[in-house]
Chains A and B, each alone.
Chain A
Amino acid sequence: GAVVSQHPSWVICKSGTSVKIECRSLDFQATTMFWYRQFPKQSLMLMATSNEGSKATYEQGVEKDKFLINHASLTLSTLTVTSAHPEDSSFYICSASTRGLNTGELFFGEGSRLTVL
């Protein structure tokens, strides 16, 4: 199956700093990537849809200026949590969709656990 790599797996930062999380599709081109957030013992909540070469589409209630998404190439999308605060601590998971496969499953990265002190 297709492989999605996410980095870093764990990150701890001080309040007020910014953190960048990378999501790469290793063996396929991902025209669309999705960023999810998962709170402890809860489901995955879609934050935004990232399309290569265009602006991300954010879900209602997600702050665009807080969670900056860039999808500069067909194999890389980044999520930057700007001016992080403790309430931003969460498990962030990216997923990718291959070109043209609307019926296909999404492939998920291993997730990034962010802890803001």
Chain B
Amino acid sequence: AQSVAQPEDQVNVAEGNPLTVKCTYSVSGNPYLFWYVQYPNRGLQFLLKYITGDNLVKGSYGFEAEFNKSQTSFHLKKPSALVSDSALYFCAVRVEGTGRRALTFGSGTRLQVQP
């Protein structure tokens, strides 16, 4: 079985400050990891993914994430937060080679950026 944990329900950060949204995973096999963002009453927008290669992945809107195999983590980061980054963020995982293409999502973390 695969699972994703997002330990923080909400993260508060001041505009201009760096932000981190945490994600850890548990899988049997090699993980494919994803971050999505959701605005109110909207679907999910893809931010970035890790499949293989460089552990630091850069994505949309200035976001990046670092894959850490030893800590089974894939934290989302941004050097300077914007008020418009305020939204719900989901980490998701799929396992290589299982044939299961659906994603398993974490519980979500609400990011609140204060002006």
Residues on A close to B: CB < 8 A? 1, 4, 6, 32, 34, 42-44, 46, 49, 91, 93, 95, 97, 102-103, 105-111, 113
Instruction: Say yes or no: A43 contacts B105, CB within 8 Å.
Output: yes
Instruction: Return the chain A residue nearest B108 by Cβ.
Output: A43
Q: A107 to B43, alpha carbons, bound, how many Å?
A: 9
Instruction: Say yes or no: A106 contacts B108, CB within 8 Å.
Output: no
Residue of A32, A43, A110 touching B43 (CB-CB under 8 A): A110
Instruction: Say yes or no: A111 contacts B43, CB within 8 Å.
Output: yes
For residues 83 through 115 of chain B, which have their beta carbon under 8 Å from a beta carbon of chain A? Answer: 90, 96, 101-108
Instruction: Say yes or no: B90 contacts A1, CB within 8 Å.
Output: no
CB-defined contacts of B90 to chain A, threshold 8 Å? 43-44
Instruction: Say yes or no: B42 contacts A105, CB within 8 Å.
Output: no
CB-defined contacts of A108 to chain B, threshold 8 Å? 36, 43-46
Instruction: Say yes or no: B32 contacts A103, CB within 8 Å.
Output: yes
CB-defined contacts of B105 to chain A, threshold 8 Å? 43-44
Residues on B close to A: CB < 8 A? 32, 34, 36, 41-46, 49, 51, 90, 96, 101-108
CB-defined contacts of B102 to chain A, threshold 8 Å? 34, 46, 49, 106
Can you add 13 more A-B contacts, CB < 8 Å, to A91-B41, A105-B46?
A6-B43, A34-B101, A42-B107, A43-B107, A46-B103, A97-B101, A103-B96, A106-B34, A106-B101, A106-B103, A108-B43, A108-B44, A111-B43
CB-defined contacts of B107 to chain A, threshold 8 Å? 42-43
Q: A79 to B51, alpha carbons, bound, how many Å?
A: 31
Known: A43-B90, A43-B106, A106-B103. Is A113-B41 also a contact (CB below 8 A)?
Answer: yes
Residue of A91, A93, A102 touching B101 (CB-CB under 8 A): A102
Instruction: Return the chain A residue nearest B60 by Cβ.
Output: A1
In the complex, 8 of the A-B residue pairs with CB atoms within 8 angstroms, ordered by the A residue number, are A44-B44, A44-B90, A95-B103, A106-B101, A106-B102, A106-B103, A108-B46, A111-B43
